[in-house]
């Protein structure tokens, strides 16, 4: 079996310096690491992780190793790998399979290599690993499963039966897992880390709010002030990006399908419109819906010369690349981060990061301090699975409330922030039903 499959092991020195920087920012996770070093709660566990290969993921996986686990890693996106970090993680003893710029075949082969390590616990960001495993288990054939089989060989049921649980990092992954659960097909318990409060109140809006704009700036260096920025989807992610774009002086328009989210956007002071109308005046379009073909041919037809398109949702399906290809007479790679589509009438439309997660492809993903929350939850959830392996139902499970609150509490501690405590009288008062006006 390949020990690793990365771009270049000689990048390790650069990667090591980045890991050290991130360790300095991820103070909660480092506290958890200290405890894991002593208690070894993950002894005998083999973890296969399908996560963006970034310095923050590196800090998480080193922590799991310190807890006694053997770890293999493949990327959750073909373009998000930081190759220097991948090289440093190989030096740490992690079996890493992935580099920036994977073809579809290579992407699934990396999943195959990670699975060859026969995990007892899986970690996903977008559910590609868990969904591939389930397709193999149910004999559902596709090009993806054929690529994985090319590495794994014929599927042996013991692979999936040996898994005691998994974790899922993002909204799109949780949606896919719930669909699997609804069909009664989920073969092991998976904890929806995304749905914890200390994840989706911070990572999704604050993390993506900053890092998506970081990606757009690194790709274009465009001025946001005075621009018409159209954000499609005003959920956890879209609302965060909207706030940050407004902070830079942009005129922000929200496009939504949910009346409650749309109303919220109105009351937060944003312009709300249909995409069909906003397509005519937008300068920068950012998708954050988790949905398919959200910006498509009919919208490209109306866009101004010079319009910029970026996606912050998990999959590269939100902006229809197919329609862009059909409508354009020419496609030019302006830089590694930006492609120009020249329309037949001469208008130019720019697509960033190949329509993939703009914050991870054109920048470095969320800042380490935000990932400290998400990945501390991940570490504690993996420990929870190891401790409770025979008690968990084969369902999509919520993060235990005590873990969710503990991560927030520890984060406040690392920030030297002390919060108020309820008095005994206040606790009693909050439990009363007889007191009135
Ligand atoms: P969410 O469910 O909170 O928000 C999605 C919103 O999009 C909803 O309000 C929904 O009504 C709206 N929507 C759906 N289809 C639409 C359409 N056709 N037009 C307009 N609005 C539409 O989800 P979220 O947590 O904000 O996540 C959104 C996406 O971002 C997911 O794919 C998620 O996995 C991904 N994500 C990415 C990052 C990142 O680092 N880039 C981080 C977290 C989440
Ligand atoms: N998702 C968003 N930002 C990330 C990061 N910095 N590392 C791993 N996954 C991420």
Looking at the structure, do residues 151 and 216 belong to the same domain, yes or no? no
The answer to whether residue 135 is domain-embedded is yes
CATH code, domain carrying 16? 3.40.50.1480
pLDDT in tens, 393-416: 999 999 999 999 999 999 999 999
Q: Is 371 near ligand 2, meaning CB less than 6 Å away?
A: yes
Taking every pair of Cα atoms in the chain, the longest distance, rounded to a whole number of angstroms, is: 73
Looking at the structure, do residues 151 and 74 belong to the same domain, yes or no? yes
pLDDT in tens, 9-39: 999 999 999 999 999 999 999 999 999 999 9
Looking at the structure, do residues 19 and 166 belong to the same domain, yes or no? yes
Q: Is 283 near ligand 2, meaning CB less than 6 Å away?
A: no
Instruction: State how far the Cα of 221 lies from the Cα of 370, in Å rounded to an integer.
Output: 24
Q: Is 57 near ligand 2, meaning CB less than 6 Å away?
A: yes
Q: Is 233 near ligand 1, meaning CB less than 6 Å away?
A: yes
pLDDT in tens, 219-251: 999 999 999 999 999 999 999 999 999 999 999
What pLDDT is stored for residue 1 in this prediction? Answer: 83
pLDDT band at 435 (very low <50, low <70, confident <90, very high): confident
Q: Where are the alpha helices (DSSP H) in 170-296?
A: 171-182, 197-200, 208-220, 236-247, 259-267, 275-281
Is the pLDDT at 253 greater than 90, yes or no?
yes
* Total domain count, the chain: 2
Encode burial over 249-285: b for 16+ CB neighbours within 10 A, e otherwise. ebbbbbbbeeeebbebbeeeebebbebeebbebbbbb
* Ligand 1 center to 93 CA (angstroms): 35
Looking at the structure, do residues 16 and 163 belong to the same domain, yes or no? yes
The answer to whether residue 425 is domain-embedded is no
Q: Which residue minimizes the CA distance to atom 30 of ligand 1?
A: 313
* Ligand 2 center to 41 CA (angstroms): 25
Looking at the structure, do residues 32 and 54 belong to the same domain, yes or no? yes
Looking at the structure, do residues 140 and 223 belong to the same domain, yes or no? no
Is the pLDDT at 437 greater than 90, yes or no?
no
Instruction: Give the residue carrying structure tokens 């400290």.
Output: 372
Range of the domain at 253: 205-361
Looking at the structure, do residues 300 and 255 belong to the same domain, yes or no? yes
Q: Is 200 near ligand 2, meaning CB less than 6 Å away?
A: no
Put simply, whether the predicted model's pTM sits higher than 0.95 gets the answer yes
* Ligand 1 center to 178 CA (angstroms): 16
Exposed, middle or buried: residue 242 (CB in 10 Å: 0-12, 13-18, 19+)? buried
Is the pLDDT at 436 greater than 90, yes or no?
no
Looking at the structure, do residues 137 and 169 belong to the same domain, yes or no? yes
Is the pLDDT at 88 greater than 90, yes or no?
yes
Looking at the structure, do residues 302 and 403 belong to the same domain, yes or no? no
The β-bridge partners of 165 are: 121
* Ligand 2 center to 60 CA (angstroms): 11
Probe target for ligand 2 pocket from 23, 52, 313, 374, with the most ligand atoms within 8 Å of CB: 52
- Percent of the chain topping pLDDT 90: 99
pLDDT in tens, 146-204: 999 999 999 999 999 999 999 999 999 999 999 999 999 999 999 999 999 999 999 99
Looking at the structure, do residues 392 and 311 belong to the same domain, yes or no? no
The stretch 322-337 carries a mean pLDDT of 98
Question: What average pLDDT does the structure give for the chain?
Answer: 98
pLDDT band at 425 (very low <50, low <70, confident <90, very high): very high
* Ligand 1 center to 234 CA (angstroms): 7
Q: Is 327 near ligand 2, meaning CB less than 6 Å away?
A: no
pLDDT in tens, 267-297: 999 999 999 999 999 999 999 999 999 999 9
Q: How many CA atoms lie within 13 A of 92 on its CB side?
A: 29
Q: Which ligand is located closest to the Cα atom of residue 236?
A: 1
Q: Is 52 near ligand 2, meaning CB less than 6 Å away?
A: yes
Looking at the structure, do residues 80 and 94 belong to the same domain, yes or no? yes
């Amino acid at each position: 079996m390949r020990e690793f499959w990365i771009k270049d092991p000689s990048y390790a020195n650069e990667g090591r310096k980045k890991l050290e920087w991130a360790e300095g920012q991820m103070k909660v996770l480092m506290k958890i690491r200290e405890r894991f070093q002593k208690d070894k709660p993950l002894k005998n566990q083999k973890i296969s992780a399908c996560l963006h290969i970034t310095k923050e993921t590196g800090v998480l996986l080193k922590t799991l190793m310190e807890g006694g686990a053997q770890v293999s890693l493949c990327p959750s996106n073909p373009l998000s790998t930081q190759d220097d970090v991948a090289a440093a993680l190989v030096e740490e003893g992690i079996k890493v399979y992935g580099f920036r710029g994977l073809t579809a075949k290579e992407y699934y082969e990396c999943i195959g290599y990670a699975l060859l390590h026969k995990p007892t616990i899986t970690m996903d960001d977008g559910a590609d690993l868990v969904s591939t495993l389930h397709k193999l288990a149910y004999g559902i054939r596709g090009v993806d499963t054929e690529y994985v089989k090319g590495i794994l060989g014929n599927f042996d049921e013991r692979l999936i039966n040996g898994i005691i649980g998994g974790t899922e990092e993002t909204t799109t992954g949780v949606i896919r897992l719930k669909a699997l659960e609804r069909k009664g097909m989920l073969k092991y318990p998976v904890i929806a880390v995304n749905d914890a409060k200390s994840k989706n109140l911070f990572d999704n809006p604050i993390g993506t709010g900053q890092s998506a704009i970081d990606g757009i700036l690194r790709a274009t260096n465009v001025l946001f002030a005075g621009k018409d920025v159209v954000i499609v989807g005003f959920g956890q992610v879209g609302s965060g990006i909207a706030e940050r774009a407004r902070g830079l002086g942009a005129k922000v328009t929200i496009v939504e399908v949910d009346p409650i989210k749309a109303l919220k956007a109105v009351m937060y002071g944003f312009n709300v419109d249909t995409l069909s109308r906003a397509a005519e005046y937008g300068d920068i379009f950012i998708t954050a819906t988790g949905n398919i073909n959200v910006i498509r041919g009919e919208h490209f037809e109306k866009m101004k010369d010079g319009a910029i398109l970026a996606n912050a949702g998990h999959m590269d399906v939100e902006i229809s690349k197919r329609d862009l290809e059909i409508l354009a007479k020419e496609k030019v790679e302006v830089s590694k981060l930006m492609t120009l589509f020249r329309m037949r009438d001469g208008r130019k439309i720019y697509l960033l990061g190949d329509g993939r997660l703009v914050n991870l492809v054109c920048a470095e993903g969320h800042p380490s301090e935000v990932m400290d929350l998400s990945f501390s939850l991940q570490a504690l959830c993996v420990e929870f699975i190891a401790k409770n392996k025979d008690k968990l139902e084969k369902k999509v499970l919520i993060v235990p409330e005590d873990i969710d609150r503990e991560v927030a509490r520890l984060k406040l501690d690392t920030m030297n922030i002390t919060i108020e405590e309820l008095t005994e009288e206040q606790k009693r008062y909050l439990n009363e039903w007889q007191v009135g006006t």
